Structure 1
Amino acid sequence: MGKTNIRSCLLLVGILLCLAAGSLEAVGQVKVRLSGKVTDREGHPVEQATIAIENSSTGCYSHTDGRYELMVTPGRHVVVVSFVGYETLKMPLRIDGPTTQDFRLKESNVGLGTVEVYGKSQTQKLKEGVFAVNALDVKALASSLNDLNSLMDRTTGVKVREEGGVGSDFDLSINGLSGNSVRYFLDGMPLDSKGSGMSLANLPVGIIDRIEVYKGVVPAHLGTDALGGAINIVTKQEKKNYLDASYGIGSFHTHKADLNAQWVERRTGLIVRPTVGINYSKNDYRMKDVEVWDEEADAYFYADRKRFHDDYFSLLGQLEIGFADKWWADAFFVSGSYSKTDKELQTGSVQTVVYGMAERQTDAWNVAARYRKRDFLVEGLQLNASLSHTWDHSLTVDTAYRKYDWNGGYIVSSRNEITGNKRSMRHYKRPMTLVHANADYALNAHHGFNLDYSMNRTGNDRYDDLDTDFEPSNDILTKHITGLSYYQSFFDDRWNNTFFVKDYVNHANIRQTDSGATTGSNNVRGSITRNYWGYGIGTRFTLAAPFAVKASFEHSVRLPIARELLGNGTTVYANVALEPESSDNVNLGFFGTWRPAAGHTLYYEANGFLRNVDNFIQVQVIEKEGMMQYQNVPAVHIKGMEGEVRYDWQNRLQLSGNLSFQDARDQQQYKTDGKPSATYNNRLPNRPWLFGGAEASYTFHNVGLPDSRLRLNCNYQWVHWYFLTWEAYGSYENKSRIPTQHICNAGLSYSWKNDTYSLSLECSNLLDETAYDNYKLQKPGRAFFAKFRLFIN
């Protein structure tokens, strides 16, 4: 089916939905808002309390600040408020219009019997929305989780491919699109606002509440130009005093320490949140079967050797100060942060090229402010606004005229290690200014609007302390993205629709001129401004609790980022002639939750997707130099399916399994010279296309110590083999391929005194398999990690 036909069909669906919405609005029953706050006897907010209308299916959970909001039919109702450890409260209310009612719960010493749950958690609501999205509860795993990459890699439709050990570069794909096609956010702001060295791998786990993984179609309120999807990391926002500290130690001289805390000054309500995260590893794991030179035999042979130049260190320090639940703001915070990473470089993009002295250092300062207010100026209008500025500086040191091998020895060379040019100390200063504003207006119980604006301005001041041939420049990239959404809800929230449009404005001022033939700066220079449009729809209909269907479509645009357009100063050449990507993304799926008996819950979902991408941006590896460059591929089509099943018994036994198929093929039939392309209809190289996993865990209560829990878990990850380069090149037998992967991990965690103390042990790659990943670079073998956590609430 061509793109024109796809768009015409989806436009027709959108028109029909709008017509249906108009008729339903006429017959829909008017509802009014019931809102307020749930607290304990001391006035502390109670999170996740159930607020429900008796003898109905209407209900919700309270938020982290204790606030709740329900849409109910006018009349007399009995409101039921309950939470584990508190007495259930029942209050008769006469509700004729918008009503505010607070509830105060009393602690209960009576054992809890059967609890009827009316509402849904935030993660469940996201999964059951109109978009294809996974929601991962991180807070429940904070005691045993070491980094976010391992959790993301076990998620349906997501594959994380690391280039080495702790702190190595990695590639994360969602439904076949990866790399910079996927955008990362921290509480709705781009993650790289904390510095270019910050990533999922080194972000402190203890500060995170949940992760939202949007697949293909990204809602307009995130204010981004993502093509393949987006990952939004949501931090904890409880209004209470706590101290959360952890320390971990593992194989290959790995150490991790996190500290985050919160102090609430009771008289003024001032909130102070300090955060510190530290990671260090030598990454001296053993490389298997690498080429080593034998002087006596005057030939290469294959042997096992330890990595000798791969130390990694990262630091994040942040202080956030502000207020919550004031008449003038639901939340107002200002923050300052500093991040630093030091990384020794062991290899380029191929492991036959070995470095022994090159290294990369980054450091970044950030200041930011954010503001949130419900009923801003008028009832029903919520405003979220944020402002951020980052001073980001990276330095790549490449001053050794040496050529190393896996023995750790070297021969004197006439060129540096990475680029093969003069000695270099390359600086990249990339100041980033971010502005984001979102206004959400609930017109009534059935209709609402959302207006979003974001601006991202990134500089690129580059210079070299040693290489006199390098030409300094100061390039500028600026993006303005505006999104407007209209959303609907009918039949007691059983049918939801969202329609949105996005406007993308891209401004680039290219001033660099060096290596013009390679980087394209001979043809592209100066100030350029371009405008693009995107649009989409999403719908979800619940037939019954065990079965619902959803579909979504987006025509999206992704603008090249600084790394793609301007290089990274080490292993990536600039390509200032890159064009933006555009794609038609379609998702269709069904899901449901089935409770066959008390204590038994089965959740399932299955999705199919299409991604028709024009000007696909793909990294090309120059194997001889160990360098990379991003280039446009005229067209790529991706289709696939994925499925997941999860079973839970009394919050003790959890079983899950998932399988993903992602078929991405080159659609360039003819080259620019008119000759047929040998790679036409080939699968894209260096991308897994079939993978899956399974996981099992069991929790024992009151083992050894009172108020304790022992959790045992294991998981298995499988990846089908795939080609490293285009399958059309060379003979089938001699093609370089990344072999099938079978990776097993196991762990246990023990907590006592109601999670005040916890200890976890993990063994990754339990069977010590030789694991290859991105660009066929070896990952560590069997590794152990132990973590102790102290949480004082």
Structure 2
Amino acid sequence: MNHTKSRVRLTSFLLLVCTTLSAQTAVIYGKITQADTQMPLADVAVSADNGRTGTSSDKEGNYRIAVKSNRVNLTFHCVGCKTETFKATIAQGVEFQHDVVMSSTTVKLNEVTVVGRNEVRRMRESAMPVSVMTFKELQGTASSIDEVLARSAGITVRSTGGVGSASRLSVRGLEGKRLGLFVDETSMGQLTNFVTLNDIPTDMIERIEVYKGIVPYKFGGSALGGAVNVVTKEYPPMYLDASYECGSFNTHRANAVLKRTNQRLGLQFGVGGLFTYSDNSYLMTLHNLDGRRVRRNHDAYRKAVFGGSLKATKWWFDELKLEALYSNTRQEIQGIDTDIREAFNHSSGFATELTLKREQFFADALALDFNLAYSYAGYGLSDKAMKRYDWDGTAYPPTSPYGGEQGAYPADGHNRSHDLISKLNLNYTLDAHHSFNLNVYEAYTRLLPKDELMEKALGFKANFNSRMNSVTTGLSYDLMLFDNRFQSAFIVKDYFFTSKTRYLPNFYMSNAENINLHRHYIGWNESMRYRLTHHLMVKASFSSEVRTPTSEELIGNGYSVLASTHLQPERVKSINLGTLYRRFHEQNGLLEAELNLFYSRLKDMIRYAPDVVPAFYHYTNFGEVRTYGIEVDVKYDILPWLYAYANCTYQDLRDVRRWMPESNVENPTYNKRIPNIPYLLGNGGVEYHRENLFGAKGSNTRLLLDVSYIHQYFYDFEMSVNQDRKIPTSFTLDAGLEHSMMNNRWTFSLKVKNLTNRDVVSELNRPLPGRSFAIKVRYLLK
């Protein structure tokens, strides 16, 4: 309290001095960022007039200082960074902008090495098992977030084709809807129906955080296998970032973002958009048709997203932000077993979000973080063709007299959905050792399916209006002891959800049953971290978590997935033990090595299965699955101009049901490996970088090589060593060359995917692209 009063007195005094001398002073302002992470630096000491005048940067790195002399001499000092100076002659009464970039350094005090901490390091050294991908991984050979994530330890991304194709992300074998997807700690929720993580250009991303097994309490929700949080960049007062990429298979990507800040008013305006198009017309091998080679002829993808934002920092809240975006997508459906020529998926949607943040919310120790998001989407499948074709070009009539290429019935979906997500996060800091957090997360979905053509062909109504509401309340306690060598985070959660829909019990009954569900569950988790030495720490986490079904799992999607009224939430008990070694070498850079052992037992695993109603699917509880594994991750700045990384993961998922459901019959797949999930995978890469390699000042050149290995695995239960239901081993190489000039004003990139043109198959018999090329031009003004 005395410290607070002292700061108030000091601030009042400085304001008085500035007011008295306003007619004789100049004002210098700007933003301070860290060179290696491009993140804003808070609490940087800024001094002028030989130390007689001073201030410090705020949490967003902004500073503002008044000086008396025409000859300005500013000093910027921050522990762990090189001290910077600025000298200039500025006329009285002028406001002058000067942004500062500070480089990290190492300072020795009484034989103790102190390295400047940033947000990335803080995340990696937290008690939770987490991987963090920085700009090094983001600005490499990857073109999308999926490609960045696929190179990380314990993460697998399996797609069905090229650009825009459906993909599934798994962390330690737990995949799909078990993972929480967040952007700046805000859940994407049902937004993933028309906006995906891949829609965010990698140039706009500060870092990607991947939490394994445990989801941070401040995120909210009921994700089970972990979470992916994409953190977008903080922008200087003026920022323009535009790029265009052209690649193989007639692929085009364009995106741009413009941010403008009025520091006097504390307002930031932003607009941006992206456009993606690809024919995806690569050659593929049809393994289901004796290895026939054909060109994909109906897989075009087109997507456009536009949005805008307004952020205020001086309207009582530390941050008040309003964002809105519109998205439109059209995706053709590629045939594998047959030559599909007309069917396609379509979607369009609008979303808006309000964010409110305040560090001192009616009390010095209480912080508020509130989000409210609403989205509206229209989407569906169009499958009305009156002819079907095989790969020889032979035409056949459709199975239904009303048409349809894919299945037994046609489709002309015009479904609508309304989604509302709110999150309240209150954090109370008792003292330097104890803090508490309350998180309340609510998600509401209203689904309005409409497909008159399909119901006409079926002869009865199969889809019904539905709604679902879930509320997850979490209370956490953070503890720090022994000069912060020990950290602990304990979380207890309450899960409650309701749903209302109508359900068709079987194909022979046209009378639907009304279903109303109300369910309630409790879960908890604990994470701990202890620093053994300055460079070495150990971590442990334990959890007994619950994942409530998503709206699609429980009430369907309106055109292909029916309601699953008897679906039980998934429950998991897990353990993670890990160790992290980090050492900063003054001559070279950072060495980081991490080892994790993990074990989990998942009950009532939810899986996708065919329904008794033809052409429809539903979700069902599978039983129990046991998982254990190990992952190793190493990153090293070998030389000042050479960086390398490598990781390897082994994960073993087994069916541990001894008996078939509701019977005394032995389970034939007991202790068999869960199919269609890789169990041995690894990644590695090197990066060569040089400044001013060709003599031009302000330029930087990077040469990159990334390799990825996935061992062969079965896409059905391995009942015999001789069965051929295997997805073959994948070994791919990607290469890239990047050259920036004029201090990153212009950047030119060349990327080569699958350099050796290997045949790669994923998701059963889905062939992935062979070798492809892309060139990219980026313009950055800030």
Query: Which residue is equivalent to 1:297?
Result: none
Seen in structure 2, the aligned counterparts of structure 1 residues 408 and 185 have a Cα distance that, compared at 3 Å, is: farther
Matched position secondary structure for 1:431: strand
1:303 matches 2:299: no
1:597 Cα offset (Å): 5.7
CA distance in 1, matches of 2:442, 2:100: 50
1:444 matches 2:444: no
Query: Which residue is equivalent to 1:724?
Result: 715
Which moved further from structure 2: 283-292 or 653-662? Answer: 283-292
Query: Which residue is equivalent to 1:462?
Result: 449
1:558 matches 2:543: no
1:463-493 Cα shifts (integer Å, max 9, x gaps): 1132323344210011101111110112232
Query: Which residue is equivalent to 2:60?
Result: 64
CA contact (8 A) 2:80 2:116 kept: no
1:115 Cα offset (Å): 5.3
* 1:503-522 matches, cutoff 5 A: 503-511=494-502, 513-514=503-504, 516-517=505-506
CA distance in 1, matches of 2:81, 2:27: 14
1:462 Cα offset (Å): 0.6
Query: Which residue is equivalent to 1:330?
Result: 318
1:417-460 Cα shifts (integer Å, max 9, x gaps): 46634432123212100111101111111110111111100111
CA contact (8 A) 1:385 1:437 kept: yes
1:382 matches 2:371: no
CA distance in 1, matches of 2:389, 2:237: 54
Amino acid at match of 2:491: F
Query: Which residue is equivalent to 2:604?
Result: 615
Amino acid at match of 1:779: L
1:219 Cα offset (Å): 1.8
1:528 Cα offset (Å): 1.1
Query: Which residue is equivalent to 1:174?
Result: 171
CA distance in 1, matches of 2:269, 2:246: 29
CA contact (8 A) 1:51 1:119 kept: no
Query: Which residue is equivalent to 2:380?
Result: 395
CA distance in 2, matches of 1:167, 1:628: 23
Matched position secondary structure for 1:400: coil
Seen in structure 2, the aligned counterparts of structure 1 residues 289 and 774 have a Cα distance that, compared at 3 Å, is: closer
CA distance in 1, matches of 2:685, 2:164: 25
1:237 matches 2:234: yes
Matched position secondary structure for 1:544: coil
Matched position secondary structure for 1:463: coil
Q: 1:538 aligns with which of 527, 537, 540?
A: 527
Q: 2:702 aligns with which of 692, 698, 711?
A: 711
Matched position secondary structure for 1:517: coil
Seen in structure 2, the aligned counterparts of structure 1 residues 260 and 85 have a Cα distance that, compared at 3 Å, is: farther
CA distance in 1, matches of 2:465, 2:325: 25
CA distance in 2, matches of 1:676, 1:108: 69
Seen in structure 2, the aligned counterparts of structure 1 residues 446 and 108 have a Cα distance that, compared at 3 Å, is: closer
Matched position secondary structure for 1:565: helix
Seen in structure 2, the aligned counterparts of structure 1 residues 193 and 148 have a Cα distance that, compared at 3 Å, is: same
- Sequence identity, in percent? 28
Amino acid at match of 2:389: Y
- RMSD, matched Cα: 3.3
1:627 Cα offset (Å): 6.7
Matched position secondary structure for 2:115: coil
1:365 matches 2:362: no
Amino acid at match of 2:708: Q
CA distance in 1, matches of 2:772, 2:98: 47
Amino acid at match of 1:162: S
Query: Which residue is equivalent to 1:94?
Result: none
Seen in structure 2, the aligned counterparts of structure 1 residues 692 and 139 have a Cα distance that, compared at 3 Å, is: closer
Seen in structure 2, the aligned counterparts of structure 1 residues 52 and 318 have a Cα distance that, compared at 3 Å, is: closer
Matched position secondary structure for 2:203: helix
1:676 matches 2:666: yes
CA contact (8 A) 1:703 1:710 kept: yes
Seen in structure 2, the aligned counterparts of structure 1 residues 459 and 139 have a Cα distance that, compared at 3 Å, is: farther
Amino acid at match of 1:727: E
Query: Which residue is equivalent to 1:486?
Result: 477
Matched position secondary structure for 2:197: coil
CA distance in 1, matches of 2:714, 2:6: 57
CA distance in 1, matches of 2:63, 2:388: 62
Relative contact order higher in (CA < 8 Å, ≥ 6 apart): 1
* 1:94-243 matches, cutoff 5 A: 116=107, 118-138=115-135, 141-142=138-139, 145-192=142-189, 194=191, 196-243=193-240
Seen in structure 2, the aligned counterparts of structure 1 residues 461 and 86 have a Cα distance that, compared at 3 Å, is: same
CA contact (8 A) 2:690 2:701 kept: yes
Query: Which residue is equivalent to 2:678?
Result: 688
Seen in structure 2, the aligned counterparts of structure 1 residues 319 and 373 have a Cα distance that, compared at 3 Å, is: same
Amino acid at match of 1:410: A
Amino acid at match of 1:394: Y
CA distance in 1, matches of 2:405, 2:620: 20
1:316 Cα offset (Å): 1.4
Structure 1 unmatched ranges of 5 or more = 1-29, 54-59, 69-77, 90-103, 293-300
CA distance in 1, matches of 2:57, 2:532: 23
Which moved further from structure 2: 464-473 or 598-607? Answer: 464-473
Query: Which residue is equivalent to 2:757?
Result: 768
CA contact (8 A) 1:482 1:503 kept: yes
CA distance in 1, matches of 2:105, 2:415: 60
Amino acid at match of 2:330: D
Amino acid at match of 2:281: D
Amino acid at match of 2:33: E
Matched position secondary structure for 2:177: helix
1:86 matches 2:84: yes
Matched position secondary structure for 1:436: strand
In the alignment of these two chains, the number of paired residues is 716
CA contact (8 A) 2:425 2:438 kept: yes
Matched position secondary structure for 2:673: coil
CA distance in 2, matches of 1:500, 1:380: 20
Which moved further from structure 2: 613-622 or 583-592? Answer: 613-622
1:80 Cα offset (Å): 4.5
Q: 2:641 aligns with which of 642, 645, 652?
A: 652
Query: Which residue is equivalent to 1:474?
Result: 465
CA contact (8 A) 2:748 2:778 kept: yes
CA contact (8 A) 2:81 2:104 kept: no
1:198 Cα offset (Å): 1.5
CA distance in 2, matches of 1:744, 1:626: 39
Seen in structure 2, the aligned counterparts of structure 1 residues 510 and 769 have a Cα distance that, compared at 3 Å, is: same
CA distance in 2, matches of 1:303, 1:721: 21
1:495 matches 2:480: no
Amino acid at match of 1:506: F
Query: Which residue is equivalent to 1:412?
Result: 397
